[in-house]
Amino acid sequence: MRQNKGLAMREKQTGFTLLEVMIAMAILAIALVAVFQLQSQSISMAGESRFMTTASLLAQSKIADIEAVKPLGNLSQKGDFAPDHPEYAWTIQVTDTQIAKLKRIEVNVFHQALIQGGAYQLVFYKTSGM
């Protein structure tokens, strides 16, 4: 009789209870949400990094173009980087400083599709007339 009772108890205890399954599912859901959030953040940071790299190189190329101009006067220009990078636009402002013969060159590069974080600014000082 005692053996039959032990056998019945053992058969009754096999498997998981509903509470155990619910707790396991909750833990799995929390872990998956964290993984998906990290993946989303990683994609966002990769896009931001791509923009910063491309924008800095494009701004440096515009600085090189301005450095080639020999009598450097005050100017304000804008344009885009078509056909290679049509989604990027630029503005250049060359202004005087308080020091004679020293010009402040400001280059701004914008990604036209990005609303937030789509601007890069590079400021350069150059002597004029030399």
pLDDT digits (tens, 9 = 90+) for 33-91: 999 999 999 998 998 899 899 999 999 999 888 888 777 888 899 999 888 888 999 99
- Mean pLDDT score across all residues of the chain: 86
Given a cut of 70, whether residue 113 has pLDDT beyond it is yes
What pLDDT shows up at residue 48? Answer: 87
Nearest-angstrom CA–CA distance, 126 and 68: 11
Whether this model's pTM surpasses 0.75: no
| Terminal-residue alpha carbon distance, the chain | 110
Rounded CA gap, 118 and 47, in Å? 10
- Residue range of the domain that includes 70: 2-127
Whose tokens are 């002597």? That residue is: 127
Q: Given this model, what pLDDT does residue 44 score?
A: 87
Number of domains in the chain: 1
pLDDT at position 8 over 60: no
Contact criterion met (CB below 8 Å) for 118 and 90:
no
Residues whose CB falls within 8 Å of the CB of residue 85, separated by 6 or more in sequence, listed in order: 54, 58
Tens-digit pLDDT profile for residues 93-104: 999 899 888 889
Domain of 58, CATH number, reads 3.30.1300.30
